[in-house]
Structure 1
Amino acid sequence: MAKANYNKRAMILNLVLMLSLFLVISMAESRKANGARVLKVRKPRCSLECESVFGVASGDTCFGIAQLFSLTTEVFDSINPNLNCEALFVGQWLCVAGSPCQ
């Protein structure tokens, strides 16, 4: 008798869980259909084109590499966006000739 009672409770619990899952899914679908928001991803206005690269060696610095290739620090920074000159590592490739984004 106890086993049958346990099975009945388990079935009821499973039914409640399935109905809850169905309710959550249907609410999510209705939100998507009624008030869908579309995220627009902006394309970059220009693309960085690197014509020549240089592999960082031990002891290299951004300033030293810029001097080696006769680049101003502004040009070097513009053709290497998001470069952290404080964290250069051996084998890192840096752009030393190219067209920066304006």
Structure 2
Amino acid sequence: MAVIISNKSLNLVLMLCLFLIISFAEGKQIGDIGFGGVKATARCQKVYGVEAGDTCNGIMAKFKLTAHFFAINPNINCNTIFVGQWLCIAGTTK
């Protein structure tokens, strides 16, 4: 027994599929449906301007920082820090 789907029903299904595909591709949250965890928000209380010769490890040692350094600087790329870049050296995450 064959099931006949009307054009309106088919269009509705296709639109919903397209909506979901776009949502997945954009990685945005739809209502209460989300993908991945909630990202922590860093609040910086003290900053340091990178100087010539600085490295992430050197800055961490200089200010006695732990892995918390990466939590309060979530977008840092230690291979590309540059002179004048502001890094958070004291702060909290929520």
Q: Which runs of 5+ in 1 are unaligned?
A: 1-32
Q: Give the alignment's Cα RMSD to 1 decimal.
A: 2.4
CA shift in 2, pair 1:45/1:90, >3 Å: closer
Shift of 1:96: 0.3
- Which has the larger Rg? 1
In the other structure, the counterpart of 2:87 is: 94
Question: Are 1:63 and 2:61 counterparts?
Answer: no
Identity of aligned residues (%): 44
Aligned residues between the structures: 69
Aligned to 1:50: 44
Residue 64 of structure 1 aligns to a residue whose secondary structure is helix
1:46-76 per-position Cα deviation (integer Å, ceiling 9, x unaligned): 411111111001011111111111111x111
Work out which of the residue numbers 61, 75, 83 in structure 2 matches 1:82: 75
TM-score, normalized by length of structure 1? 0.54
Residues 28-52 of structure 1: CA deviation (Å, up to 9, x unaligned):
xxxxx94252744369454111111
* Higher helix fraction (1 or 2): 1
Query: Gaps (5+ residues) in structure 2?
Result: 1-10
Find the aligned partners of 1:44 and 1:59 in 2 and give their Cα distance: 35
Amino acid in structure 2 at the alignment position of 1:82: N
Q: Residues of 2 paired with 1:65 and 1:45: CA distance? A: 25
